[in-house]
Amino acid sequence: MHPVRKQRLWVVLSIVLFSSAAVGLAAYALRGNINLFYPPVEVAAGKAPVDTPIRVGGMVVEGSVQRSDSTLETRFAVTDYQATVTVVYEGILPDLFAEGEGVVASGRLNADGVLNAEEVLAKHDENYMPPEVAEALKNSATAGVSQ
């Protein structure tokens, strides 16, 4: 092989090798920060991973909000009208949090199917619905019609 071609081959192989290593390291670093969305029906079906950061969204079930008398813990249920997931959150809820309104809760699902939320997001105006929640409710309504 001609020495110039051999040198080019090593340069190309080096670029491919270091690029692959960089992509692999970036994917490894991001794996702990991936936070996937699951509607309540998928959580109830067991498709959501346990003890892994996930987001669950839907509507807060009317009459399900229970606040602790001594702590900031709040327990409520989120539904997509096909299934319900219990969410436990300790902290100050957003001002717009209310029963019958859309929310997205981020946290870890335990073995009992309860989401221990680290963050609760509520809608910020009357017309806004988080895209994941809107799609989950739309899919739920479509599945409900076909059953």
- Binding positions for heme are 124, 128
Tell me the C-alpha distance between 56 and 42, whole Å.
10
Return binding residues.
Answer: 124, 128
Coil/strand/helix, residue 114: strand
Q: Integer distance in angstroms from the first to the last C-alpha of the chain?
A: 68
Largest CA distance in the chain: 81
Which residues of 8-113 form beta strands (DSSP E)?
36-38, 53-60, 66-67, 73-79, 84-90, 102-109
**Residue in this structure with the two tokens 């969204």, named with its chain if needed:** 57
Angle, CA 67 vertex, CA 64 and CA 68 arms, to 5°: 140
